[in-house]
Amino acid sequence: MWNIRANNKNKILVATILVGAVSYAQAEVLVILPESGPMARAANSIKQGFMSAYQASGSKVPVKFVNSDQANMPALLKKNVNSKTQMIVGPLARADVDALIKVKPKLKVLSLNEGTLQANNVLQFSLAKKDDASALARVIKQDQIDDILVLRQPGTEAENELFLMALMSKTELPIHVLEQQPTKLKKGQALLLLGNNEWLLSLKSLPKKNIYTLSNALEQHKPLPLGIQFCDAPALFEADWEDMKHAYAQQPVGLPYQRLLAFGGDAWQITTLYLKTPKMKTANFEGRTGQLSLNGNQIQRTPHCYAYQAKGLKQV
């Protein structure tokens, strides 16, 4: 898929909390995902990643999946939550997350999206743009940039608006949106390119440093402009997760759905932590989607960042 050259000097090694085969005689995990409707394909990849990580862990905890598509959340919970249910994973749709919070379940919940409501026992886990923006802002600061120029592929402005807003909230640097490609960059300037892979490769005379893009510009087996940097889920580029390889072998999918495989795997790993230590308040581990920090009901995800070079990807 992609080649990565290890940067041992800068790579931070974080101990991962591993949970082996543990017997929870009275435990059951209820997973709420849509099996039909517009989110079913995404949910299927999440389920595949979740179950691959579950099987690799050797856990014997029963996992029960229920369909959330067009379901009434209070009725769904009333029907499926019982005395053996120790934790709920899901739902996926934002509206369903809010509907679940309104029911005020007493169990620990790991939702798979972020709603507008909050609850102390509901952790909201997602692949949010704000996490990608925060990681990219860190790399830009590391590169000693003091001015960010943004060039967008025509017709994608709305698609990238959330990311731009998130980036503005994560950096104090001035951000200037351009209408045309600059002929060159001045010292301290960065060029952020927001568009698809074909558009990126059509741009001529790009500088070889201080250029950046988003993960959605990547396409499997296709190159990127030399020197460009981006942040993404490490499981797509680093061969540290055998369960990801197994999930992909069972369900070969493109990069957007590979990220969901990784997301599902991390959802299971978070679940195992709470099954083992129900009153756990904080945890940090290297996940498939990035460095994960759990604090109370908050989950912060820090993707890994990479530079595309002639010999492959280099972690930065």
Encoding tokens for residue 140?
């830009």
127-157 pLDDT tens trace: 999 999 999 999 999 999 999 999 999 999 9
Nearest CA-CA partner of 152 in 199, 195, 205: 195
pLDDT score for 235: 97
Q: How confident is the model at residue 5 (pLDDT cuts 50, 70, 90)?
A: very low
Burial 88-100 (b: 16+ CB within 10 A, else e): bbbbbbeebbbbb
Q: How confident is the model at residue 240 (pLDDT cuts 50, 70, 90)?
A: confident
Q: How confident is the model at residue 12 (pLDDT cuts 50, 70, 90)?
A: very low
242-259 pLDDT tens trace: 999 999 999 899 999 999
pLDDT score for 190: 98
Looking at the predicted structure, is the pLDDT value of residue 193 above 60?
A: yes
Q: What is the mean pLDDT of residues 192-218?
A: 97
Chain mean position to CA 93: 16
Pairing of strands 282-287, 290-295: antiparallel
How large a percentage of the chain has pLDDT more than 90?
A: 90
Burial class (CB in 10 A: 0-12, 13-18, 19+), 20: exposed
Q: Which residues, 6 or more positions from 139, have their beta carbon under 8 angstroms from its beta carbon?
A: 212, 229, 231, 305, 316
107-135 pLDDT tens trace: 999 999 999 999 999 999 999 999 999 99
Encoding tokens for residue 5?
């050259």
Encoding tokens for residue 69?
């598509």
Query: Other C-beta atoms within 10 Å of 231: how many?
Result: 25
How large a percentage of the chain has pLDDT more than 70?
A: 92
Nearest CA-CA partner of 263 in 237, 281, 289: 289
Return d(Cα 34, Cα 134) in angstroms, integer: 30
pLDDT score for 299: 96
Q: How far, in Å, are 21, 127, 134, 156, 310 from residue 269 at the CA level?
A: 13, 16, 23, 35, 35
pTM of the complete model: 0.91
62-80 pLDDT tens trace: 999 999 999 999 999 999 9
pLDDT score for 168: 96
36-47 pLDDT tens trace: 999 999 999 999
